[in-house]
């Protein structure tokens, strides 16, 4: 499975990447929203994990872009405490699941598995 | 007596000035290079540390060469300090097993000693850092010493100690508020509120004491706490704060009453309105805007026509718009006996709605 991770925190990005690679997935990393939207346009992705707050384009803009181009990709949103309203917006735009930071990478992997197996 | 400057004296002076300028340039360059080295080191060290943390979380391949290299770096005090900083920072990003892995690194590399040293230092910022690190890594044996820091005279220290104690004990950690006589900043209040996830039963005694505190910031914090956890049982005590000496407390009391409102709240706001200063009256109108209760319609029309303050008239018109009274507002704005100011206020309120 080809999974895109959009996250500007290097430690989170690398940790999730290594966990997914260990599970046998192929991973594409982006550190800002604009780059993530480009990758979504270019690649045939199976799943996207995106942070809400990112440079150049937010997770919400990524979800809007996916909706605009009409791709049906499951998206897991990572948010911080106090971003409840943004999470509601994310679900309105088609997010499949969300996790609040601090989060457990193991739980994220389980949620990814569940979405992929759907 | 007039001394003429000789040519050789002038040349000597110029040479001295040039040498001083040159020395200054060398010093600035040297310092810039030193700063660059430190920055460069910190960036590359951060990468090494983050890789170590990631490796521990993922539970990946053991690489003895890299471990040896890491052990070498650890001999450098600045590296250990950065390692501790990054660990504490990482602890806020992860939960579950990953958090435990970070905690294990802290203990395995004996960074606890580092944090204890900071806690016992004389400089306030280091003490605060030590408190933060021991709390983040959940070193419970530090609780007595951190509790003692609650009475420290230095703001950075007692604020960090408050946050740490609440991190360790949750709601029970707020006990320090019983006798706290210094201002609790808005930022500190938010940090504490975020750290409390539940309120145990039989918490009434504390909350009641804090609402009666002579420290306004403690009262305001308690009102925010009541709002966060919707503590309806304190409705009467909160209502009684509407005659508190501080306007800030009254404003927070209005917000809290709105959050824990019952069927009588709007009527109570209406009855209390004339007794309040303008700032509190505006807050009451904001609460009515959120409540969207038709009970307030007549009262709002009365304020729009008769209140002496323009700001209140504007707020009343805005609430009427929210209540769906646009037609009424349009009609009175077109009447010939409506004075210009009121027409402008209504236009403003209707325009706000469009925006």
Whether residue B343 lies inside any domain: the answer is yes
Contact residues, chain A to chain B, C-beta under 8 Å? 9-12, 14-15, 18-19, 22, 81-82, 101-107
Which residues in A lie closer than 8 A to residue B57 (C-beta atoms)? 15, 105
Residue A27: domain span: 2-117
Residues written for chain B:
355
Q: How far apart are CA B79 and CA B322, in angstroms?
A: 58
Residue B296: domain span: 263-354
* Least confident among A29-33, B92-96, B202-206, B294-298: B202-206
Task: Give the contacts of B116 (CB within 8 A, at least 6 positions apart).
Answer: B130, B134, B142
Which residues in A lie closer than 8 A to residue B91 (C-beta atoms)? 102
Q: How far apart are CA B176 and CA B148, in angstroms?
A: 11
Q: How far apart are CA B218 and CA B355, in angstroms?
A: 38
Angle, vertex CA A99, rays to CA A57 and CA A108, nearest 5: 105
Place of tokens 């909160």: B238
User: Hey, are the CB atoms on A103 and B95 less than 8 Å from each other?
Assistant: yes
Task: List, edge to edge, every strand of the sheet that includes A2-6.
Answer: A26-30, A2-6, A47-51, A75-80, A97-101
Q: What is the pLDDT of residue B153?
A: 93
A17-70 pLDDT, tens digit each:
999 999 999 999 999 999 999 999 999 999 999 999 999 999 999 999 999 998
Q: What is the ipTM of this complex?
A: 0.89
User: Hey, are the CB atoms on A22 and B54 less than 8 Å from each other?
Assistant: no
Q: What is the pLDDT of residue B343?
A: 87
Mapping DSSP to helix (H, G, I), strand (E, B) and coil, where does residue A28 land?
A: strand
B96 touches chain A (CB under 8 A): yes
Q: How far apart are CA A38 and CA A50, in angstroms?
A: 14
Question: Average pLDDT in the B260-274 region?
Answer: 95
Which residues in A lie closer than 8 A to residue B93 (C-beta atoms)? 9, 11-12, 101-103
User: Hey, are the CB atoms on A18 and B96 less than 8 Å from each other?
Assistant: no
Whether residue B251 lies inside any domain: the answer is no
Whether residue B168 lies inside any domain: the answer is no
Identify the residue among A8, A10, A11 best suited for mutation to test binding to B, counting B beta carbons within 10 A and taking the highest: A11
Question: Average pLDDT in the B14-33 region?
Answer: 94
Question: Average pLDDT in the B91-119 region?
Answer: 90
User: Which pLDDT band holds residue A11 (cuts at 50, 70, 90)?
Assistant: very high
Q: By CA distance, what is A18's nearest residue in B?
A: B58
How many angstroms separate the CA of residue A11 from the nearest CA in chain B?
6
Q: How far apart are CA B135 and CA A112, in angstroms?
A: 32
User: Hey, are the CB atoms on A102 and B54 less than 8 Å from each other?
Assistant: no
Number of other CB atoms surrounding residue A5 within 10 Å: 25
Q: How far apart are CA B323 and CA B297, in angstroms?
A: 8
Which residue has better confidence, B39 or B98? B98
Whether residue B70 lies inside any domain: the answer is no
Residue B246: phi and psi, rounded to 5, are: -90, 130
Question: Average pLDDT in the B21-46 region?
Answer: 90
Q: Which among B79, B336, B322 has a CA at the least distance from the CA of B349?
A: B322
**Averaged pLDDT score across all residues of chain B:** 90
User: Hey, are the CB atoms on B94 and A103 less than 8 Å from each other?
Assistant: yes
Instruction: Assess whether pLDDT exceeds 70 at residue B355.
Output: no
Size of interface A-B (CB pairs under 8 A): 54
* Least confident among A43-47, A104-108, B69-73, B143-147: B69-73
How many angstroms separate the CA of residue B91 from the nearest CA in chain A?
8
B43 touches chain A (CB under 8 A): no
Q: How far apart are CA A103 and CA A80, in angstroms?
A: 9
Number of domains in chain B: 1
B240-252 pLDDT, tens digit each:
999 999 999 999 9
Whether residue B270 lies inside any domain: the answer is yes
Report CA Rg, chain B: 31
Number of domains in chain A: 1
CATH value at residue A53: 3.40.50.2300
């Amino acid at each position: 499975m080809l999974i895109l991770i959009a996250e500007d925190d290097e430690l989170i990005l690398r940790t999730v990447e290594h966990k997914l690679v260990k599970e046998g997935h192929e991973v594409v990393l982006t550190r800002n929203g604009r780059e993530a939207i480009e990758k979504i346009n270019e690649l045939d992705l199976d799943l996207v994990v995106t942070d809400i707050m990112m440079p150049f384009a937010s997770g919400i803009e990524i979800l809007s872009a996916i909706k605009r181009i009409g791709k049906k990709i499951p998206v897991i949103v990572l948010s911080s405490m106090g971003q409840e309203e943004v999470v509601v917006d994310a679900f309105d735009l088609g997010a499949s699941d969300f996790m609040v930071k601090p989060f457990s990478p193991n739980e994220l992997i389980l949620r990814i598995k569940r979405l992929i197996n759907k | 007596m007039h001394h003429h400057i000789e040519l050789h004296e002038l040349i000597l002076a110029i040479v001295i000035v040039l040498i001083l300028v040159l020395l200054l340039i060398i010093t600035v360059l040297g310092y810039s290079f030193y700063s660059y080295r430190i920055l460069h080191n910190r960036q590359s060290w951060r990468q090494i540390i983050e890789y170590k943390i990631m490796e521990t979380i993922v539970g990946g391949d053991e690489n003895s060469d890299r471990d040896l290299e890491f052990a070498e770096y650890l001999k450098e005090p600045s590296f250990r300090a950065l390692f501790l900083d990054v660990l504490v920072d990482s602890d806020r990003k992860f939960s579950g097993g990953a958090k435990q892995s970070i905690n294990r690194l802290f203990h395995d590399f004996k960074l606890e000693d580092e944090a204890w040293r900071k806690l016992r230092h004389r400089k306030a910022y280091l003490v605060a850092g030590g408190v933060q690190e021991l709390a983040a890594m959940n070193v419970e044996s530090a609780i007595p010493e951190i509790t003692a820091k609650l009475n420290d005279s230095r703001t950075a220290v007692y604020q960090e100690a408050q946050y740490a104690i609440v991190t360790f004990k949750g709601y029970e950690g707020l006990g320090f508020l019983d006798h706290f006589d210094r201002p609790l900043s808005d930022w500190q209040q938010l940090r504490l509120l975020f750290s409390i996830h539940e309120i145990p039963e039989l918490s009434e005694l504390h909350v009641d004491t804090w609402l009666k505190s002579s420290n306004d910031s403690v009262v305001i914090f308690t009102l925010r706490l009541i709002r966060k956890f919707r503590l309806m049982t304190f409705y009467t005590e909160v209502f009684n704060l509407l005659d508190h000496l501080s306007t800030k407390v009254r404003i927070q009391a209005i917000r809290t009453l709105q959050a824990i409102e019952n069927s009588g709240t709007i009527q109570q706001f209406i009855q209390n309105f004339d007794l309040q200063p303008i700032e509190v009256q505006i807050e009451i109108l904001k609460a009515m805007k959120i409540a969207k209760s038709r009970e307030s319609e007549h009262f709002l029309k009365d304020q729009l026509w008769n209140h002496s303050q323009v700001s209140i008239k504007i707020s009343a018109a805005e609430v009427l718009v929210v209540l769906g009274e646009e037609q009424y507002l349009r009609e009175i704005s077109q009447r010939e006996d409506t004075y210009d100011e009121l027409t402008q206020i209504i236009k403003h309120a209707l325009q706000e709605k469009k925006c």
